[in-house]
Amino acid sequence: MKVVFLGATRGMGRALSRRMAERGDELFLLGRKESDLSTSAKDLEIRSGGDASVGFHLCDLEDPSTFEAALDKAEETLSGLDAVVVTGGLFGKQEDLEQDLPLTRRILNVNFTNTILFCEHSKQRLLRRGGGTLCVFSSVAGDRGRKPVALYGASKAGLSHYLESLDHKHRADGLVTICVKPGFVKTGMTEGVDPPPFAGEPDPVAMRVLSAIDRGAPMVYAPAVWGHVMRIIRFLPRFVMRRVGF
């Protein structure tokens, strides 16, 4: 596959892009820091066996004016486009966000408004080519209103809602939209947060997401156990949710 990847420099994006490179997918990286993109591109070139060069271009989820040029460059370099993967996103602890509304605004913009705008640009390009795959990382935090993630969770709830709608709207046109809902995964994003039971690692998540991409599954919980955890949390009555701390 010819894949544009936004967020391959760290965490789950790094693990997933490595898996893709190792199996021979052609990648083009987008992100906000040139030096990190360059390092990641070199790493992926080595992992792909050194045959293909991996291109990159600056693209900042805080600045939608960067999206068009980045996607133009990606399509031109790849000479095509089969899939767009978005793992880029921001997290903030609820107590920090409540004290810092400008930071709250940044996180809501990056995770919701601007990720959706990036998806709209990507969607148009994929549809012009007859379809493809749009795989975007949302979160289990968007499945239910919960005390510790009221703000971050709201941004992901909106994103999940959009991704589901997009899949309903364009599946028949050949566009497969995949909403990834990670549970707690140990990455830079969760550094300093006490891991709950069932905390996962990036690599098994990457394998599970790759399988979902290959199957065209519209939604995937990763690690898998979070699907069972969220099935219970989704059905807890409100009076229970009000009492408990999660």
Query: Could you list the residues that contact ligand NAP (CB under 6 A)?
Result: 7, 9-13, 31-33, 36, 60-62, 87-91, 110, 137, 139, 182, 184-185, 187-190
Please give the full DSSP string across 48-87, using - where no structure is assigned: TTSSS--EEEE--TT-GGGHHHHHHHHHHHHTS-SEEEE-
Place of tokens 């709209």: 120
Residues 6+ apart with CB under 8 A from 23: none
Q: Which two tokens stand for residue 95?
A: 């107590």
Q: Tell me 200's DSSP state.
A: B
CB of 38 to ligand NAP, least distance (A): 12
Q: Which is nearer to ligand NAP, 42 or 128 (CB)?
A: 42
Q: Which is nearer to ligand NAP, 171 or 186 (CB)?
A: 186
* CA 18 from centroid of its chain's CA atoms: 15
CB of 101 to ligand NAP, least distance (A): 18
Q: Which two tokens stand for residue 214?
A: 């290959």
Residue 56: strand pairing partners: 29
How far is 142 from 138, CA to CA, in rounded Å? 7
CB of 148 to ligand NAP, least distance (A): 13
Q: Which is nearer to ligand NAP, 7 or 132 (CB)?
A: 7
Q: Which is nearer to ligand NAP, 1 or 159 (CB)?
A: 159
CB of 35 to ligand NAP, least distance (A): 10
CB of 222 to ligand NAP, least distance (A): 9
How far is 23 from 213, CA to CA, in rounded Å? 14
Q: Which two tokens stand for residue 50?
A: 């050194």
By three-state DSSP, how is residue 199 classified? coil
Q: Which is nearer to ligand NAP, 127 or 230 (CB)?
A: 230
CB of 174 to ligand NAP, least distance (A): 25
Q: Which is nearer to ligand NAP, 43 or 131 (CB)?
A: 43
